[in-house]
Amino acid sequence: MIRVQSEQTGYSFLSAPSSHLTTIVRNVAETLAFAALGGVTLGILGVPAGWLSGSILAVACASLAGRPMLIPLRPMQIMLVLIGISLGAVVTPATLNGMTTYPLSIAVLVVAMVCISLSGSAYLRVVHGWDKLTAYLAAAPGGLSQVMGLAAEFNADMRAIAIVQTVRVAIIAIGLPAGLSLLGLAGHVSRSVGGAFNPAQLGEMTILVAASTVVSLIAYFVRFPGGLLFGAMLTSAALHGSGYIHVVMPWWVTNTVMVAFGAVTGSRFAGTPLRVMMKFIGAAFGSFAIAVAITAVFAVGLVGILGLPIGEVMIAYAPGAVDAMMLLALALHLDPVYVGAHHLMRIFFVSMAMPLLARRAAPPRKTIDQAVKPPLKPPPFED
């Protein structure tokens, strides 16, 4: 059997036996075809972050329709490195000077994440009747892989958590750029992201890719959160910020990565029957609305204090997937250093706090006598 795993979701896909590799290849090709159809269509139309959001939307719809959407782990890891290089390429010395505003902004972010967790879990418990542990893990603002691991360890409802978390990620990645654009809060939107490549810059490009790849692999193997993306981004930012490197990723590489990575997010819905999806859709949209409302309140307050662009603050505070938020910053021409610093802090905060709170929320372990007794009523969310 061949095991293909997604680093972002923690899900595993068990394919057919190795003699049927063509099935895997066919599924991946179909996934990329849907991604290309959606991403290229919205990208050419000039929709904000259309290359990414169009791909997500097309693949998610195909997944819910029952098509076998699949993106293997290794290509996804390569995409993360390329994303990091592209993000770091927009850094300048002037950008780095803006880091003096980060401490207060990050402190406000931590408070916002606590409020999102508490309010979201309270909503799921009161309105939808979820148990304390499942509600807390579903409302956690990020860290899906760790969330699913804790759900399995403490026997929470993994299906409910996965659907709520995945819907949140998809809605933010698709709806946030469109909302910012309609309100005039996004940077200049173009039909492509990146630059033109001059063959004379091949030497610089080789140095940039090699150095970024090495650092990203080191960060990955020492288990730095988001190591592949942040390792490449920090290396690229250092080389560009110092003025040593000037070359940027060609626009066609950056847009291709956006389309392919949109397929990763959209494929999270693979294997989810529509009837199951509809069962939890109210909980997903409700908790999402609470998270966005709280984020908006804190973002507006911070903008009033520091005078930062509200588009950058909203992307930095949005409880979406880190890689998708970083791509949105790039596509909407927002400061990726500011956005990246906040999402990195969010990862650290959620990763440290979640296991502790999950253990407090988990019900006491059953004794052997309790374990053999039949339950008085079926557990929630059973079909």
Exposure string (b/e) for 171-200, b if CB count within 10 Å is 16 or more?
bbbbebbbbbbeeebbbebeebbbbebeee
- Local confidence band at 210 (pLDDT 50, 70, 90 cut-offs): very high
What is residue 4's predicted lDDT score, i.e. its pLDDT? 40
For residues 314 and 342, is the Cβ–Cβ distance under 8 A?
Answer: no
Lowest mean pLDDT, pick from 48-57, 178-187, 211-220: 178-187
What is residue 144's predicted lDDT score, i.e. its pLDDT? 64
For residues 137 and 159, is the Cβ–Cβ distance under 8 A?
Answer: no
What is residue 217's predicted lDDT score, i.e. its pLDDT? 94
Tell which residue, 115, 40, 48, 129, has the closest CA to residue 330. 48
For residues 267 and 27, is the Cβ–Cβ distance under 8 A?
Answer: no
Q: What is the mean pLDDT of residues 8-29?
A: 64
Q: Rg (Cα) of the chain, in Å, rounded?
A: 21
Domains in the chain and their CATH numbers?
29-362 (1.20.1530)
What is residue 19's predicted lDDT score, i.e. its pLDDT? 54
For residues 208 and 245, is the Cβ–Cβ distance under 8 A?
Answer: yes
Lowest mean pLDDT, pick from 132-141, 241-250, 320-329: 320-329
Residue 377, pLDDT above cutoff 50: no
Q: In terms of C-beta density within 10 A (0-12 exposed, 13-18 middle, 19 or more buried), how is residue 374 classed? A: exposed
**pLDDT single digits (tens) 64-75:** 888 888 888 888
Tell which residue, 31, 112, 117, has the closest CA to residue 68. 31
Q: What percent of the chain has pLDDT over 90?
A: 10
Lowest mean pLDDT, pick from 167-176, 275-284, 369-378: 369-378
What is residue 191's predicted lDDT score, i.e. its pLDDT? 43
What are the beta bridge partners of residue 200? Answer: none
For residues 235 and 218, is the Cβ–Cβ distance under 8 A?
Answer: no
Q: In terms of C-beta density within 10 A (0-12 exposed, 13-18 middle, 19 or more buried), how is residue 253 classed? A: middle
What is residue 149's predicted lDDT score, i.e. its pLDDT? 63
Q: What is the mean pLDDT of residues 355-371?
A: 61
Q: How far apart are CA 331 and CA 325, in angstroms?
A: 10
More confident residue, 37 or 244: 37
Model confidence, pTM:
0.62
What are the beta bridge partners of residue 3? Answer: 14
Amino acid at 373: K
Which residue is it, tokens 């966005």? 292
What is the sign, positive or negative, of the torsion defined by CA atoms of 43, 47, 53, 59? negative
Residue 317, pLDDT above cutoff 70: yes
Residue 133, pLDDT above cutoff 50: yes
Q: What percent of the chain has pLDDT over 70?
A: 76
Q: How far apart are CA 344 and CA 229, in angstroms?
A: 11
What is residue 5's predicted lDDT score, i.e. its pLDDT? 42
Q: How far apart are CA 34 and CA 37, in angstroms?
A: 5
What is residue 366's predicted lDDT score, i.e. its pLDDT? 47
Average pLDDT for the chain: 76
**Phi and psi dihedrals of 195, rounded to 5?**
-135, 180
More confident residue, 218 or 87: 218
Exposure string (b/e) for 55-88, b if CB count within 10 Å is 16 or more?
bbbbbbebbbeebbbbbbeeebeebbbbbbbbbb
For residues 250 and 205, is the Cβ–Cβ distance under 8 A?
Answer: no
Q: How far apart are CA 51 and CA 44, in angstroms?
A: 8
DSSP 5: E
Q: What is the mean pLDDT of residues 267-284?
A: 79
Q: What is the mean pLDDT of residues 132-154?
A: 77
More confident residue, 145 or 178: 178
Lowest mean pLDDT, pick from 118-132, 266-280, 369-383: 369-383
Tell which residue, 199, 203, 195, has the closest CA to residue 252. 195
Which residue is it, tokens 């066609």? 252
What is residue 335's predicted lDDT score, i.e. its pLDDT? 78
